[in-house]
Structure 1
Amino acid sequence: MKAKRYHPFLMLFDAWKLAKNTFFLFLFLFVIKAGSHSIFIRYGRYLLLVGVGMAFIHIIIKWCTHKYVLDERSFHLYKGIFNKTERTIPYSKIQNVNRHTSLFHRIFHVTSISFETGITSDDAAVTFEVVSQSEAERMEGIVHQNEKDMPLSEGVEGKNDHNRVIHFQPTKRDIIKASFTSLSPLALIPLILTFYSNVDEVFNLKGKTEGVFSYIISSWWIVISVFVFLILVSVVFGMTRTFLKYGKYEISSDEDRIYINKGVLDKTAFSIAKEKVQAIQIEQSIIKRLFGLAEVKLTSAGSLSLGEETLEINSLYPFLPVQRAYEIISEILPAYEITHKMKRLPKKSLWIRYFTPSWIWIIATAALIYWKPALLGIEKAWWMLSAALLLLVIAARWLDFLHTKYILNNRFIQLQSGILATSLFLSKRDKVIEVKVSRNIFQKWLGLASIETINRAKPVQHNGIKDVPVEFAEVFYKWYMGRMREIEVEK
């Protein structure tokens, strides 16, 4: 089977990345310092030009020497001129598929696609940074069909979308709620400060804007007007930012796979075989809890990165109403069963939390005793600060006790923990690769133990709770041993 070169636009894409990475160096050396006769500036220009030239040569050589082949069972990747290497990745190792279409890709009607494996190494993914839409569909179709043990030839086209069921698409109301829940309007403030700082370093704006600032604060109505204007701009910015990120969000599935698509300008797509889902996490921040929202994340053994970008696409829509989140899990993953009624920790677990030393409070109190800082004119305020910190520690431990829950439901385990934010972990027994039960001296006195589960992910996912009854820890260990009757070797 003849090896194919990568898409020729890959050279243009690499050149575009090179231009972005060197833009500010060119701006500084050839524009801002255009009249400088410094030897460092002069040689800096030479080094930059030589470096860029060598990078361009490397881009061309890379395209000429890197090739690939897809046969019925594996990817075959080739590179090198004199020292040639070949890398083979079986389709059976693919955990999930990530596709990202940036503005560059949309202009040239191409896309990028990454096939993630569960291998922990720099070569864990098969990544095509530039590929035609039809070629990406063909590749993904071959990988998906291979999961069904159906050999395909080079002529296979993409997958059929007719069997997909759409489970969720955000409405305008969902977008508005998401923009405020995600605090997107506040993102404008650091952007303005960063932009001002960068421009000030070049054009020294600080001295030029002092008069404008003095004029603004000299009148109360101007201050109020500016404040209202900034709020409106922040709200519009937050809603626009949220729309561009989640405006075309879609969760869908077919018989075998889950598909998540998002993005208006930069489009990202994620797909994973249902059988490859290692666990589910339902997370609620304090703001999401107030609005009755939750984020559902799928844990997989493959990483979620594509080139230089890290994708967050493993999340089912991050601002789902709680009840809808549970419904979607049942729809797309009927093999997973969520138990709404869970067990709480015994009261003695709260006491062991209270009497466990808090090193944060101890160190902070020692520092306060040493420096004895004054607060609001009160010279001996250090003990008040220490007492306030102790109350915060006690409150945090009480909330941790309140939110910690657990249950074993036949083949499933559910663990919930958190203080202000909460996280519910759900996994099947055959997806748990290791468990751990431990007891310290205080837990032995009170008949308690700590349990932990380990699931395949990147990085490996650890979940556990402390101070469960020792009887439950024993049941938990026996429950895991029953895994041997269910375990199947993953393809």
Structure 2
Amino acid sequence: MSWLFVLIQQLKQFVVPLIALLVFGRGDRNELWSLIGVGVLVAVSIWRYLTYRYGIGANHLVVRSGLFNRSLREIPFVRIQNVAVHQTVLHRLFGVAEVRLESAGSKEPEAQMRVLKLADALALEALVRRRGDAPAPGQAEAPAEVLLRLPPAEVLRLGLVSDGGLVLIGAGFAALSQAMPDFSAKVPGRLMREAARWLFGRVESYHLDALGYVGVALVLALALAVALKLLSMALAVLRYYGFELSEHGRRLTAERGLLGRWRTTVPRRRIQAWTLEEGLLHRLLARRRLAVDTVGAGDQDDGRALKELAPIASAPACDALIERLLPGARLEQLQWRPLPDAAWWRLFLPDVPWVALAAFALYWQIGALSALALAWLPWAAFKAQRRARRIGYALDSQLVAVREGWWRRYWRFAELDKLQALQITRSPLDRRCGTATLWLDTAGGGALGPPLRIRFLPEDEARRLYAALAAVLARRPLRW
């Protein structure tokens, strides 16, 4: 039944345009000629997949593919860093799985088996783990040990603190706007107008005063927020149900999912940087999130990369994971160095032009009442002061760490041995104030995560810190 999974995989990228063509098409038969191209692509993909073979050697994996244009690849086990085993609902019905073998620094997988029996997939994962991280002579392989397991109640809390529902709705509208421009331009506006007309018609029948309308607006906003949170909780259950983080020797394995199952294995040494986060709801629930950057993961968000060691956990549980996987880190004992007190106005300054622009734009609509927009400035100043007090960095013989945020806080840290590049940047305002920003780069860092940087440092302090870290990098031996 391998051809069935390949067919579905190929049709995924055409399903939205095909539905749009059949439902919103103008009835012109010429529009159906594109289906011939889809059929040819599917046939070619299936033909190529039927010629796919793989074999296992003593120290490498052999992959052969193609009929007319043949390809033969030998992949050493030591080169394979990440092993991702994925099961959709259809995979689980047939008792099979998809396996991706990834190496460091490569955006494409070294090998991808669309359909393997689940037992064979798990056996291949275990084989890569044994051959890639072989124990010392005379030393038996360490048994698997569970480091973290999320019960259903924790998964529901994860949905409560996340914004998955809002992200899903936004992604849905973005996909519709790309596939059906006419739909995105006309249908949402028409639906909103009809809903508003129906709603105001119902409200007007109660003859409410101004305070009543405010109450209705608050109830609707609360109902919308509750609906989004319920959607986020449902998505969290689908993605993180049965989450389990375990350690197999020198590799970490994370498994999760309700309908589809994701299982990802990565060596511990491939963890490049760590991020500890907590938002307002996290603090109310006494929970945190522990994420990592691994080589080759980047900004992937397809569920196959190991990016979260603890999607949600208590502070002691996160500290125990860090202490277990990063011995001697002593994050709670770091000596944090704050920024100068005068740095708060640098955080406050970006809000000023936006508030002034909003007040100017509102003046033409509501007149002098637009000055109420300036009431945001005191709150922005208070927020900037609180954020400035939280910003700081720490450096010891093992790692470098930064912390930022007030409403949503994060701690980001990395071992000195994992730093790849250093950079000092100075904007015109930095040159005027005599400050600089020190950027610390590690492999595997994504553009969507919080940066590893130290802002608003006095220039001489930034250059001293740069020189100290550059000396550490220069003493590090080259690894080929």
Q: Same fold (TM over 0.5)?
A: yes
Q: Deviations over 1:214-257 (max 9, x none)?
A: 8965579xx99x98999987776554433232220112113311
Q: Deviations over 1:49-95 (max 9, x none)?
A: x2233133213321233333443333443333333334444333333
> Are 1:482 and 2:467 matched, yes or no?
no
Report the 3-state secondary structure (helix = DSSP H, G, I; strand = E; otherwise coil) of the residue aligned with 1:326: helix
> Are 1:258 and 2:244 matched, yes or no?
no
> Are 1:329 and 2:316 matched, yes or no?
no
Aligned-partner residue type, residue 95 of structure 2: H
The offset of 1:212, in angstroms, is: 7.8
Aligned-partner residue type, residue 96 of structure 1: N
CA contact (8 A) 2:155 2:241 kept: yes
> Are 1:380 and 2:397 matched, yes or no?
no
Which residue in 2 is equivalent to 1:315?
A: 308
The offset of 1:300, in angstroms, is: 0.8
Which residue in 2 is equivalent to 1:354?
A: 345
Aligned-partner residue type, residue 122 of structure 2: E
> Are 1:408 and 2:395 matched, yes or no?
yes
Any gaps of 5 or more consecutive residues in structure 2? Answer: 177-182, 209-215
CA 1:184–1:274: 2 relative to 1, 3 Å: closer
Within 5 Å, give how 1:94-243 maps onto structure 2: 94-121=80-107, 123-149=108-134, 163-183=143-163, 238-243=232-237
CA 1:262–1:452: 2 relative to 1, 3 Å: same
Distance across 2 between alignment mates of 1:305 and 1:444: 33
> Are 1:427 and 2:414 matched, yes or no?
yes
Report the 3-state secondary structure (helix = DSSP H, G, I; strand = E; otherwise coil) of the residue aligned with 2:295: coil
CA contact (8 A) 2:251 2:265 kept: yes
CA 1:479–1:12: 2 relative to 1, 3 Å: same
CA 1:62–1:189: 2 relative to 1, 3 Å: closer
Root mean square deviation, CA, Å: 4.3
Which residue in 2 is equivalent to 1:157?
A: none
> Are 1:289 and 2:279 matched, yes or no?
no
Report the 3-state secondary structure (helix = DSSP H, G, I; strand = E; otherwise coil) of the residue aligned with 2:452: strand
Aligned-partner residue type, residue 91 of structure 1: F
CA contact (8 A) 1:79 1:85 kept: yes
The offset of 1:276, in angstroms, is: 1.6
1:274 to 264, 268, 273: 268
Any gaps of 5 or more consecutive residues in structure 1? Answer: 1-7, 152-159
Which residue in 1 is equivalent to 2:212?
A: none
Which deviates the most, 77-86 or 403-412?
77-86
Which residue in 1 is equivalent to 2:456?
A: 467
The offset of 1:391, in angstroms, is: 3.4
CA contact (8 A) 2:294 2:306 kept: no
CA contact (8 A) 1:412 1:426 kept: yes
The offset of 1:355, in angstroms, is: 5.8
Distance across 2 between alignment mates of 1:31 and 1:440: 53
Within 5 Å, give how 1:63-74 maps onto structure 2: 63-74=49-60
Report the 3-state secondary structure (helix = DSSP H, G, I; strand = E; otherwise coil) of the residue aligned with 1:420: coil
Distance across 2 between alignment mates of 1:234 and 1:441: 42
CA contact (8 A) 2:391 2:403 kept: yes
Which residue in 2 is equivalent to 1:44?
A: 31
The alignment's TM-score, normalised by the length of structure 2, stands at: 0.77
The offset of 1:428, in angstroms, is: 1.1
CA contact (8 A) 1:374 1:381 kept: no
Which residue in 1 is equivalent to 2:179?
A: none
CA 1:230–1:366: 2 relative to 1, 3 Å: closer
The offset of 1:334, in angstroms, is: 2.6
Total equivalences in the alignment: 454
Which residue in 1 is equivalent to 2:7?
A: 15
CA 1:236–1:441: 2 relative to 1, 3 Å: closer
Distance across 2 between alignment mates of 1:205 and 1:394: 40
Percent of matched pairs sharing the same residue: 17
CA 1:162–1:107: 2 relative to 1, 3 Å: farther
The offset of 1:207, in angstroms, is: 11
Which deviates the most, 86-95 or 351-360?
351-360
Which residue in 2 is equivalent to 1:303?
A: 297
The alignment's TM-score, normalised by the length of structure 1, stands at: 0.76
CA 1:190–1:401: 2 relative to 1, 3 Å: closer
Which residue in 1 is equivalent to 2:356?
A: 365
Distance across 1 between alignment mates of 2:345 and 2:191: 53
Aligned-partner residue type, residue 362 of structure 1: P
The offset of 1:393, in angstroms, is: 4.3
CA 1:208–1:430: 2 relative to 1, 3 Å: closer
The offset of 1:106, in angstroms, is: 0.6
Aligned-partner residue type, residue 253 of structure 1: E
Report the 3-state secondary structure (helix = DSSP H, G, I; strand = E; otherwise coil) of the residue aligned with 1:268: strand
